[in-house]
Amino acid sequence: MVSGVTKDAVLEILDFIHKAVELISDFEKENLLSTLLEARKEGKRIFIVGAGRSGLVAKAFAMRLLHLGFSVYVIGETILPPMGKGDILIAVSGSGRTKTVVAVAEAAKSLGARVIALTTYPDSPLGKLADVTVRVPGRTKLAAEEDYIVRQVIGVHEPLVPLGTLFEATTLIFLDGLVVELMSKLGVSESELRERHANIE
């Protein structure tokens, strides 16, 4: 059995995700679902953007959308068609202030695309640009006091996990859950997902 700080951190992440599920708005989730289903029905393309580890979470979701039969592309890849009116941009940024992500969202809006934002801060620049926003809880601040012992003495308890881990882990799990609901609504089986999975890896 794993022990020590690793175990404490894993349990903290799991506890945070468990609580976050109760905080994510069902109304916002339904808006996201209906926007994606409408785009698929109308033959619109889905573009995905994120930076750093949030970008990896976004790419994981893009892969599942591909498996579900969506026409999906990752911003920054070399094989990228032009974005058009009615297409969808899904932007993942915990802070909602990542410059590259906000710039892509601005460009998408100027082209008539709809923007979906997954962020901890709906009032951020990204959140304000978005047509659909899903607020995903995450770490909201960095420690004002860097010394761990001092923090414990004065009763300031920061998460064990660093930086944006809680947002990224929560977003990954939330989107994987969303994939299961999309499978149900579209009547897509796991075997159909497997058929669309890469066979050269």
CA distances to 14, 59, 119, 172 from 24, in Å:
15, 21, 11, 13
- Helix pair 165-186, 26-41: axis angle to 10 deg: 50
Query: Is there a contact between 70 and 40 (Cβ–Cβ < 8 Å)?
Result: yes
The two tokens of residue 43 are 């033959």
Structure tokens at 69: 């039969």
Query: Which tokens go with 87?
Result: 């297409």
168 is catalytic: yes
| Helix/strand number for the chain, H first, E second | 8, 5
Active-site annotation holder among 38, 168, 181, 201: 168
- Residue 113 phi, psi dihedral angles, 5° rounding: -80, 160
* Sheet (strand 132-135) strand order: 72-74, 46-50, 88-92, 114-119, 132-135
Active site residues: 168
